[in-house]
């Protein structure tokens, strides 16, 4: 069976067209006509990628994207947004919320398939490959099972929360992580900890690993990002 792709799109014609092309390319598409159904399927079916329209009745695409990115069960699923032509704001908000790519409407189904393949190549580990156990970032090495961070071979004393924040940043290198996402991944959903806590922990990480002080970029009003290397 091919890789499963969830298509969340309220316009039946577009939905059917995309499903048809994806099937032809060997994918296993599954569809949702609205945000609520999309959320249900994302959580229960855990597709390998989600194709998400922004303009949806009820819960819109951006709201759904926010949910997907904050729930630990779905936060790592790549999302490609479908946006109305020329709507710059939606595009920017989508990328800030952690969309992996966006495709302006109208689009050709071929283009969509090509973009999906590119995102999958970039983000989905090969079948059988476990979650990464080690991250190397310049002179920094993170050994996940041993809960150890080494800077040029010397251990850096990080608290468990600092460790997990750094792990979240490294595992999503190149992508902006909102404070909400960091809170959900590190503290769990429904936490009463405030956004400010994330800032405090980031400050501590920057202090303990000066090499990361500049590398960890503050994205105004959104969160943090560590660039790909």
Pick between residue 82 and residue 222 the one whose CB is nearest to Ca ion: 82
Least CB distance to Ca ion at residue 155 (A): 51
Q: Which helix (H) or strand (E) holds 50?
A: strand 49-53
- The tokens 């041993």 sit on which residue? 146
How far apart, in whole angstroms, are the C-alpha atoms of residue 38 and residue 79? 12
Shortest-Cβ-distance residue relative to Ca ion: 55
Least CB distance to Ca ion at residue 228 (A): 32
Pick between residue 52 and residue 226 the one whose CB is nearest to Ca ion: 52
Least CB distance to Ca ion at residue 55 (A): 4
Helix and strand counts by DSSP (H, E) for the chain: 9, 12
Interface map 3-22 toward Ca ion (x if CB under 5 A):
-------x------------
Contact assessment for residue 63 and residue 20, using Cβ atoms and an 8 Å cutoff: no
Q: Counting beta carbons within 10 angstroms of the beta carbon of residue 228, is it exposed (0 to 12), middle (13 to 18) or buried (19 or more)?
A: exposed
Least CB distance to Ca ion at residue 10 (A): 5
Q: Which helix (H) or strand (E) holds 110?
A: helix 109-123
Instruction: For the segment 141-170, give every residue that binds Ca ion (CB under 5 A).
Output: none
- Assess 34 for contact with Ca ion (CB under 5 A): no
Token duo for residue 106 = 């109208």
Pick between residue 10 and residue 16 the one whose CB is nearest to Ca ion: 10
Least CB distance to Ca ion at residue 14 (A): 8
Instruction: For the segment 43-82, give every residue that binds Ca ion (CB under 5 A).
Output: 53, 55
Least CB distance to Ca ion at residue 76 (A): 25
How far apart, in whole angstroms, are the C-alpha atoms of residue 95 and residue 82? 12
CA distances to 58, 162, 195, 203, 208 from 200, in Å: 36, 10, 9, 5, 13
Pick between residue 39 and residue 137 the one whose CB is nearest to Ca ion: 39
Pick between residue 64 and residue 186 the one whose CB is nearest to Ca ion: 64
Pick between residue 63 and residue 199 the one whose CB is nearest to Ca ion: 63
DSSP-assigned beta bridge partners for residue 211 = none
Applying CB under 5 A, the residues found at the interface with Ca ion are: 10, 53, 55
């Amino acid at each position: 069976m091919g890789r499963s792709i969830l298509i969340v799109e309220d316009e039946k014609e577009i939905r059917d067209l995309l499903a048809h092309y994806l099937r032809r390319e060997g994918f296993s598409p599954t569809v949702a006509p609205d945000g609520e159904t999309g959320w249900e399927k994302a959580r229960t079916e855990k597709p390998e990628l989600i194709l998400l329209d922004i303009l949806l009745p009820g819960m819109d695409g951006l709201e759904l994207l926010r949910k997907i990115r904050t729930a630990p069960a779905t936060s790592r699923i790549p999302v490609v947004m479908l946006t109305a032509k020329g709507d710059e704001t939606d595009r920017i908000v989508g990328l800030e919320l952690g969309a992996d790519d966006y495709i302006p409407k109208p689009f050709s189904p071929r283009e969509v398939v090509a973009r999906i393949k590119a995102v999958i190549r970039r983000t989905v580990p090969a079948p059988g490959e476990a979650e990464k156990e080690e991250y190397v970032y310049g002179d920094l090495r993170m050994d996940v099972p041993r809960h150890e961070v080494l800077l040029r071979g010397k251990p850096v004393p990080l608290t468990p929360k600092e460790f997990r924040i750094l792990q979240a940043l490294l595992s999503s290198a190149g992508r902006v992580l909102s404070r909400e996402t960091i809170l959900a991944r590190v503290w769990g959903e429904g936490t009463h900890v405030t956004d400010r806590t994330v800032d405090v922990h980031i400050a501590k990480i920057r202090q303990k690993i000066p090499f990361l002080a500049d590398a960890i970029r503050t994205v105004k009003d959104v969160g943090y990002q560590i660039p790909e290397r």
